């Protein structure tokens, strides 16, 4: 149910812990240098009803609590820092061509709990200042290639320290638009399309997440720009990095990212999703007032990346969270340990 039938972990628990730190330290360094990102400290919670928290697909409920010594002010645990980062770039006055990244720790209590999903989410959340002229598909693709190169370099350096681990990624990442994928595989679900394409190419960047009727997958209307027309009549300046996981024989999303909305795209996407009232929230008023720079950004799953690079079959082998008892029993039968 949770593990491939013949699965046995390559690394034991002690080696796994060492490899997790090695992978995280290496990739963080590679990503920071390649994209010119400075590390910053980020919040675990933000004020409710401020518009700062990421509402994901719009149906997930964040963990909320009140602060006794702030007259009961309501706060909520972040689900991601997609919007906070852009606000931080403005407040910290980061210059063009530079950006920030942070260790994001979030809770998503409505998420699935399975081999690749957990209610605890850890990401490298990053955001970079760009110009209005760089809000185009070529710049997006160039940034994707830079991130993919950082993943490839991390895989190589990890194999140097742990010879039993080998790199399964192709040399280059392929770019596929969700609208083209839907035309090629009209009878398949979005998840089935991702699996077919990831197996075909080994690594893909799927462009246009959030656009369409129905959309390939959900995306909030107020951070990624998924509705701007681009080349070939397509839409979207965002997407997901998806790889072929040879351990699970399935696709695995490692990152979601994109060029962020400008004021025009924000209002268009709020109208598309029927939530125009959000323009009155604190974060949205600042964007519409011209206080935020144009940016590109995203999140890269720390546990997902470690799971993939260390050839693990379950995210719980690299992340401490809560798991069903049957998952723990199945892990034990395979000689694996869920943290």
- Residues labelled as active-site residues: 54, 108, 123, 240, 253, 256
The CB density around residue 199, as the number of other CB atoms within 10 Å, is 15
DSSP state of 187: T
Q: Are strands 64-67 and 73-77 parallel, antiparallel or unpaired?
A: antiparallel
3-state secondary structure 56-68: CCCCCCCCEEEEH
Residue bearing tokens 């509705």: 227
Give CB contacts under 8 A, 24+ apart, made by 70-74. Answer: 73/47, 74/47, 74/48, 74/49
Q: Are strands 250-259 and 73-77 parallel, antiparallel or unpaired?
A: unpaired
Of 243, 288, 282, 249, nearest to 268 by C-alpha is 288
Pair of tokens at residue 29? 């360094």
């Amino acid at each position: 149910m949770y593990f491939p039938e013949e699965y046995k972990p390559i690394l034991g628990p002690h080696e796994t812990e060492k490899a997790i730190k090695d992978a995280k330290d290496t990739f963080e360094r590679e990503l920071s240098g390649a994209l010119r990102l400075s590390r910053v400290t980020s919040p675990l919670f933000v004020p409710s009803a401020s518009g700062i928290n990421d509402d994901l697909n719009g149906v997930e409920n964040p963990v909320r609590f009140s602060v006794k010594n702030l007259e009961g002010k309501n706060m909520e645990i972040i689900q991601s820092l997609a919007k906070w980062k852009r606000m931080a770039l403005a407040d910290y006055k980061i210059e063009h061509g530079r950006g920030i990244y942070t260790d994001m720790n979030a809770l998503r209590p409505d998420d699935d709990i399975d081999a690749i999903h957990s209610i605890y989410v850890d990401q490298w959340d990053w955001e970079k200042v760009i110009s209005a002229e760089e809000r185009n598909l070529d710049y997006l693709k160039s940034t994707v290639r830079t991130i993919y190169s950082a993943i490839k370099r991390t895989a190589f350096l990890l194999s140097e320290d742990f010879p039993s681990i080998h790199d399964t990624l192709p040399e280059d990442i392929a770019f596929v638009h969700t609208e083209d994928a839907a035309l090629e595989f009209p009878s398949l679900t979005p998840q089935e399309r991702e699996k077919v394409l990831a197996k075909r190419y080994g690594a893909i960047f799927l462009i246009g997440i959030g656009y369409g009727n129905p959309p390939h997958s959900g995306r909030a209307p107020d951070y990624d720009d998924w509705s701007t027309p681009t080349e070939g009549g397509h839409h979207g300046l965002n997407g997901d990095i998806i790889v072929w996981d040879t351990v699970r024989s399935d696709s695995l999303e490692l990152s979601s990212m994109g060029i962020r909305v400008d004021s025009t795209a924000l209002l268009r996407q709020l109208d598309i999703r029927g939530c125009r009232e959000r323009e009155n929230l604190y974060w949205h008023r600042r964007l519409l007032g011209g206080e935020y720079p144009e940016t590109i950004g995203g999140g890269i799953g720390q546990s997902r990346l470690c799971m993939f690079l260390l050839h693990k079959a379950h995210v719980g082998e690299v992340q401490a969270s809560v798991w069903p008892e049957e998952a723990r029993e199945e892990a034990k039968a395979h000689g694996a340990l869920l943290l």
